[in-house]
Amino acid sequence: MPAIFDSFVHRRGLTPHVAWRVSFIVPFILITSVAVAMLLLCEDTPTGKWSDRAKAFEAITHNTTIVSMSGKITDNPNAAAGSISSTENKEKKASLPEADVESNSGEGQVMDATVAQAEVVIKPSGKEALKVLCSLQTVTLCATYVCSFGGELAINSILGSYYLKNFKYLGQTQSGRWAAMFGLLNVITRPAGGFLADLIFKWTNHSLWAKKFWIHFVGVMSGIFLIVIGQLDPKSLDTMIGLIALMAVFLEAGNGANFALVPHVHPHANGKLPEY
């Protein structure tokens, strides 16, 4: 964007007042083109067309016995009476030869009710949806996301001006470029936050408290760096960029850490089936 702005001012002769407004035509064209291309060329869902979504589940459950479940969408699933639990199912498979584990000796495989419910998005009632939205787990996860991604948006909106104020010799263009580096770090830091969360989850024998600790750890660390930057208000560009980069690592990793925790919060109410 700074390069586009400079081009309009120095090559097209536009005033800065007009040039920065005209510059937004470029991202408008890019974003609109991508949106239209996705609408026309991409599948509606990972399994294909939205209208054919039921067929994907039918394919999964072909020659499969689904154990019906009692209870509501917000309830934790328990194996229904007479059903085979996941533990029992695993023990059964462990006792079979390797070939039979794959084919189950040609018999219909019994699908645990937990798996069945996880595969199908069930439309909740308004009361059930409200219960999920207002639960402490949901509110806490929303709060941590506000602190990570919300904090990132707030910093993005002011970082270019902050650099320009502290380092006037950079000028508007260079300040904008350095500020853009903060967002560019997301290419690494955001997926790293989720990837590390899953690794920690694996290393701690699937402890959700480990994921919760990680998400709060990166949040606290980013807060510490923000306080340090505010107190020092560095006049050295190297020091400023270094502190901003370190803060970005933790702040943006928090975004990925949030998404790594989402599947564990009300796993049977992760989506609401839209009206069609």
For the chain, the straight-line distance linking the first and the last C-alpha, in angstroms and rounded, comes to 40
**pLDDT of 118 over the 80 cut:** no
> What's residue 83's pLDDT?
40
**pLDDT of 121 over the 80 cut:** no
3-class SS letters over 242-260: HHHHHHHHHHHHHHHHHHH
**pLDDT of 114 over the 60 cut:** no
Task: Tell me the pLDDT band of 48, cut-offs 50, 70 and 90.
Answer: confident
Kindly report the average pLDDT of the chain as a whole number.
Answer: 78
Q: Which residues contact 266 (CB under 8 A, 6 or more apart)?
A: 74, 132, 135, 137, 138
**pLDDT of 203 over the 80 cut:** yes
**pLDDT of 272 over the 90 cut:** no
Q: For residues 275 and 233, which has the higher predicted lDDT (pLDDT)?
A: 233
CB 21 within 8 A of CB 71: no
Q: For residues 69 and 3, which has the higher predicted lDDT (pLDDT)?
A: 3
CB 2 within 8 A of CB 177: yes
For the residues 115-139, what does the mean pLDDT come to?
72
> What's residue 61's pLDDT?
58
> What's residue 211's pLDDT?
93
Cross-strand partners of 82: none
For the residues 29-43, what does the mean pLDDT come to?
93
Of 71, 47, 54, 89, whose CA–CA distance to 269 is shortest? 71
Percent of the chain with pLDDT over 90: 43
